[in-house]
Each structure stands twice: as C-alpha cells, then as structure tokens.
Structure 1
Amino acid sequence: MSLKAFIHVQHLLGTGHVVRASAIGRALAARGVEVTLATGNRIPQTVETAGLRIVDLPPVRTVDARFNRFVTPDGREIDDDWRAARRQATLDAFMSEDFDLLLTETYPFGRRPFAFELDTLVEAAKSLPRPAFVATSIRDILVRKQEIHKEEWMAKRALASYDRILVHSDPEFVKLEASFPFAKDVDHLVRYTGYVGGANAPEAPEGLGEDEVIVSCGGGAVGQHLLEAAVDAASLSRRAEDTTWRILAGHDIADDVMETLLRRAPAHVAVERVRRDFPSLLKRARASVSQAGYNTVLDILNAGIPAVFVPFAQIRETEQQQRAEALAAKGCAVVIPEKTLTPEGLAAALDDALALPRNPFQVRLGGAQASAEILLSDLKERFS
C-alpha cells in the first residue's frame, strides 16, 4: 500500500511558493508516494504538476505587499463566509483520503492570515486514528517581522504541532538564524535540503538568448517598475547596447502594461511574457537583470552569468534584499535598491556587473529530491 501525501500551498504575489511545493510533490511522486497538491491560487502554466492530483481551493490573492487585504479573482474582499467555505473545502480535501503526510508550505513561518484554515488542517492531521506526520517547507530566508512576538509565535506553533521543518537552503551560504531569531528553539526539527529548483525546463529555440541581456521579474504580478526602467536602460548601457535585451513579464502583469512596454521598446528590445525555457535562455545570455526571488536567483546561479538584482522591497519585504546582498558579497552581482531605480542607474549597474570577474558561486542543489528522501525516512521511522 503506497504512502499518501497532502501538500498545501498558498502563493499570493509571486510564484516561488507553488514552484517549490510542486517540485517536492513531484519528487515524492517519483518515489511512489500518491501526492495531492491543494492550492489556493491559480497555478501558472510555467509550473509542472505532472503526476500530482491537484485540488483547486477557493482562490485568493493579496492586494499588495502589506499582505493584510485579500481578494477573490473578481476583486471581492474575503469575509468570514468566504473563510468558512475555504476552511471547509480544505478540510474536505484532506479528509477524503487517509493521508500519511501533511506538508504546509511556509506556515507557520508565514501565511498567518490563513491560520483560520491551516490550524484546522493541522489539527485534523494530528487527530486522525493514525496521526499524520506534519512538516513545513520554508525557503532560505524568511521575511522579518516588526513585532518580535510574532516570530516567537512561529517557533511555539512549530514546536507544538510540527514533526519536521524543511529549510530549502545551503547552510554554507545562509542558515535559518540569519532571518529567524528563534532558530535555536526549533533546531532539532530542522533539516537543510539544499535549494529547490523547478521542473526540467525545455531548451529554448536555437540562437534565442545568445549573448542577450535577460530582464525578468518572476512569474507573478510585481516588477512593473523594473520592466519600465529596463526598456529605457537598454539604449544607455555602454557594455550591452549592442545586443538584444529580452524583457520577460510575469503572467499577472496587466495587458495594458504589456502594450505600453511593447510600444516604447526600441528595435533591439524584445518584450514578452515569462517563458518556461527561461533557465536555458539565461545559460546563453551575457547578463541577467532581475529581482532577487528564490527561483530566479537559483536559475541565475546555475547559469553562472553576471547579474544585477533589484530586490522587491515594498512595504516590509526584507527577504529579497537579504538574498541579493549575500550574493553581492560573494562578488557575483550588483544590487540596486528598488526605490532609487532609474534607467540611468540600471544601465550603469549592468555595466558594473559585466566588469566583474567571472566568479560563479555554487550552492547545494537537489532540494526537492533531498526533501523527499528526508520525509520518506521520517515516515518510515514513524510508521514502521
């Protein structure tokens, strides 16, 4: 009888959360586990979900980076009735089968506004006649909270209800304590997996990406300012004005923004939506200009090309800034604050990045596979 896993993921602005969750799901499925992925937002077409059973929960997204107002696809703000329906849908999906493993992506180290749903889910898992093994999946760097008691709550919640904390990082590069002050309290639950990449990306058509500057802002709805600055910066760079700039916009960037970018773009600038062959484009490119999201940075490190990072840093976001600065300290990137971004500054930063000595920085990879092996070992110990 095969093991069964239930993975819950809620991405709100970017797509990194669902990319990691689906990658771990596929790694478990490849090892014979029946995997259900319950998602609270639309899964982008660029995310591979083959081999997973997908449960579409009532979808929701955030209004902005404050993460304190949430709306349905038609723009209605969620209310108590919506929360009750969402909680019941999640519980029904989980109780429909006898799951051996519950994996909550981020929670309780984030997504606290969804505690109304996730606490019920975790309690259900722990209350089964044969309690499920409960684990959480978190990225390399957490967003710091202004109130220390919220971070203390995260540790207490994990200690009370969780059996394992998977940290998708290379501890030689960044450890949990770099962004979480209560890391020592939960250290016995932590396992570092290495970085989690996405699916094997298709190869780009021959010649595409060759010696280009690839500008990207992830697969979500943020990054418009970066894309607009890049359109103008393409004609200002001294070291890269002679090559194609390929600007890739997330699927949730508005159509009217895309039309404006296309209209303003000079002849040597291509503007299109984000592509599944993005990693192979990077490997052929002269340089990358991007935000500093988890998956994008991983693709850039794999490509080993010079990079300019413009970290997403709206409201209280700290995660991308910390990741970008850590890479800049390794001598393989230049960082520009989002709030001071101009076309002139972006062009100058790219010229500086292209002047850096080639210094590829390697991090531990294979995080999805390592996560699957850790969890299977945990399950074997629990249920043997």
Structure 2
Amino acid sequence: MTKRVLFYVQHLLGAGHLVRSAIICRALSEAGLDVHLISGGAMADVDAGGASVHQLAALHCAPGNFSRLLTSEGKPADDAFKSSRRDMLLALFRALKPDILITEAFPFGRRQMRFELQPLLEAAGDATPAPLILCSLRDILQTSRKPGRDAESAAIVNARYDAVLVHGDPAFARLQDSFTEAEAIRRKVRQTGIVADLARRRWRHGVNADAQVLVQAGGGAVGAALMKAAIDARPLTLLKNSPWLLVGGNNMTEEDVLRLRGRAPEGVRVERFIADLAARLGLCALSVSRGGYNSVAEILHARNPAVIVPYAQDNETEQAFRGQLLAARGLARVVAEEYLSPESLAAAIDAALSHPPPESGIDLNGARKTAAIIRDMLG
C-alpha cells in the first residue's frame, strides 16, 4: 500500500519556504509516495510535481512585523479566523490519515502558528496508528532573540518528533553554528544536503556574450534600495554594455517599480515578477541577490558569478552568516547592507566577474536524499 505524506508549510512574506517545500514534495512523489502539501500562505504558482496541494485560508505578515498575522484582505487574523483555519487543518489530517507528518520550520520557527500546529501535533500523537512526525529545516537558523527559545524548540522536538531533516551540508554550515541546543537533539537530526532544483541549467563561462546581469532584490523598501544601487552601479562596471534585468519580487510596491523604471536607462529592464526567474540563472552573466536559502541554492547549482547583499534589517542574522560562509569559500562576493552603494556594488560585481566561482563541493542533492531518508524510515 502506498504510504502517504502530509507536508505543512507556511510562508509569511516571500514564497521561499513554499518553493523549497514544493521541490521536496516533488522528490517524495517521484519516490512513489502519496504526497499532500498543505500551504497556509498566499497562493503561489509552484511545481509540486505529483503532490496534491491543499490551500488553507491565507495568512501573511507585513515586512518587519512577523508577530502580527494578516488575512489576504490585510486585516488582523482574529480568533474566529484562526479557529476556522485550525479546524480545516485538523479535518484534512483526519481525512488523509498520513503515515508521515512533516512540519516545515516548526518548532524552530513559525511559532506564531502554534494556534494550529500544537493541536495538529496532539492529533497526530493521539492517532492510531500514529504517523511519524518530522521537521523540515533549513541549514542556518535565525539567531534566537529571546532567552530559552532554543531550549523550548529542543524540548518540543524530543517530546513530539521522530526526526529533524536538516537541509544542509555540515561541511558548509553546521546546525550548532546557529542553534545552541543542537547537541540536545543530535540523535534526531538527519542531514540531507542542500535542497536545490537540479533540473535547472548550469552556467558556462563565455557561452553568451549578450547574457543578462540578473538582479533579484527581494521586494519592499530595502529591495528598492538595492535595485536603485544596481541601476547606478551599472555604468561603473565591466558589464556596463550588457542588458540588465532587475526583479523586485511580489512584495515590492507598484509605485516603487514605476519609480525605478523611470530611473532605468536603456538596456535596463525593471520587473516586479518574472515567471522563469530561476531558469534564467544558468544563462545570466552574473547574479546579484539576497542571501536567502533558495537564492543561494540556485547560485551554487548554476555556478555563475554572484554578488550577495544579505538582508540584515530587523536584527536578521541568517543571510549575513550564509554570505560569510560563501565569501570564505570564494563562491560569491558579499556587500554588507550597511555599506551598499553604487561604488561598493560595482566593485563587487567586477571582482566576481573576474574570478568565476570554483566547484563548491557542497551537497545539493537534498530533495532526493530527503526522499531516501523517509523511505528508509518507513521500512
């Protein structure tokens, strides 16, 4: 009988968590499992392969305020809304009767979703037979801002979870580097390698003299500042005559997009969204992006020259740490957000272009290894 997987993911700002989860679900489905992806964020067009996708009433957060959950209408999510969502999630669990339940990020993150995840874990524990409970976790965590948070996460793992699937290569980033209680959960950790979409094209030096410079800004006011710096940096770089594509992301306002288009000279295209953005990495002359997990996974696979400008506002530490690790290996040039200027960005672009990255040696087969680990756990 085909084993069934229920995979819960909640993206709150960008769609990165959902994109990574979809890649994993695709691999699980290809491995012969009956996969059901439950998404709690805004609807997005992702390729989950043969997995069935179930959409909860969408919730998101405003940039810089992850404690306040908002509905798709931009209203605060009240108790009635949360109760309705919880009931739908529990109904799906009871109807699907999964053999494996996977929660993305929780209990290491997504604590604002405890109103539905704690009841879900309780229902899973009470089910007969009870499913295996796993956590899907990226390799680098946001440093905890409150004392005791890491210990709380470890306690939940040890009480409720059968395993934590860490989607990273410890040769690149170790869990203990960003999670203080790693030793407490050591027996439950399974390293999978980084989850990258290996079907994408890889960059080849000198293939296309007209290749674009691809700038992925990540949206919001901070994204607009990066795109403005990129526009002003272009005439200072070795790629001043190449076409540049600047993509702001869904969180960038239309007002910002129009303002940037008015500033952009001929040869610079500004868009809010591009459907085949990841596929363009293997064709671009150089990439400028934030330091999020998915962006870095795509860059490591494509192996194109890259500049990283890590998001560092609101006390965020994850991207800056990932940038440091990349720079230490010569895999990308990094410009700290506080030092971002046309001049600093142009210098980093020329340096990256002059020294194409070496083979990383980092395990990028995380999706398939996740599927193999789960098949092995099912017996």
TM-score by structure 2 length? 0.93
**1:263 is paired with a residue of what secondary structure?**
helix
**1:69 is paired with a residue of what secondary structure?**
strand
Which residue of the partner structure matches residue 240 of structure 1? 239
AA partner of residue 230 (structure 2): A
Which residue of the partner structure matches residue 171 of structure 1? 170
AA partner of residue 371 (structure 2): A
Q: Percent identity over the alignment?
A: 38
Deviation >4 Å, runs of 4+:
201-204, 207-210, 218-222
Confirm or deny: 8 A CA contact 1:308 1:349 kept in the other structure: yes
User: Are 2:269 and 1:270 equivalent residues in the alignment?
Assistant: yes
Q: Deviations over 1:179-229 (max 9, x none)?
A: 10110110100111011124735899xx98943221113589972221222
Change in CA separation of 1:327 and 1:199 when aligned onto 2, cut-off 3 Å? closer
Which residue of the partner structure matches residue 41 of structure 1? 41
- How far did residue 164 of structure 1 move? 0.7
Q: Deviations over 1:106-159 (max 9, x none)?
A: 000100111111111111111101001000000010001122301110111111
Aligned pairs for 1:46-57 (under 5 A) are 47-57=46-56
Confirm or deny: 8 A CA contact 1:44 1:251 kept in the other structure: no
AA partner of residue 243 (structure 2): T
Which residue of the partner structure matches residue 132 of structure 1? 131
Change in CA separation of 1:81 and 1:202 when aligned onto 2, cut-off 3 Å? farther
Aligned residues: 376
Aligned pairs for 1:1-384 (under 5 A) are 1-45=1-45, 47-198=46-197, 200-201=199-200, 210-218=210-218, 223-237=223-237, 239-356=238-355, 358-380=357-379
Q: Deviations over 1:59-91 (max 9, x none)?
A: 111112341112111110112222211211111
AA partner of residue 186 (structure 2): D
Change in CA separation of 1:125 and 1:74 when aligned onto 2, cut-off 3 Å? same
In structure 2, stretches of 5+ residues that fail to align are none
AA partner of residue 215 (structure 2): V
- How far did residue 360 of structure 1 move? 3.4
Question: CA RMSD of the aligned region, Å?
Answer: 2.2
In structure 1, stretches of 5+ residues that fail to align are none
Confirm or deny: 8 A CA contact 1:234 1:269 kept in the other structure: no
In 2: Cα distance, 1:145 partner to 1:374 partner: 28
- Worse overlay, 165-174 or 269-278: 269-278
Confirm or deny: 8 A CA contact 1:202 1:277 kept in the other structure: no
In 1: Cα distance, 2:231 partner to 2:16 partner: 25
Q: Deviations over 1:219-244 (max 9, x none)?
A: 8997222122212221222x221211
Change in CA separation of 1:25 and 1:209 when aligned onto 2, cut-off 3 Å? farther
AA partner of residue 8 (structure 2): H
**1:148 is paired with a residue of what secondary structure?**
coil
- How far did residue 258 of structure 1 move? 1.8
Confirm or deny: 8 A CA contact 2:5 2:35 kept in the other structure: yes
In 2: Cα distance, 1:280 partner to 1:252 partner: 21
TM-score by structure 1 length? 0.92
**1:288 is paired with a residue of what secondary structure?**
strand
Change in CA separation of 1:263 and 1:208 when aligned onto 2, cut-off 3 Å? farther
AA partner of residue 22 (structure 1): A
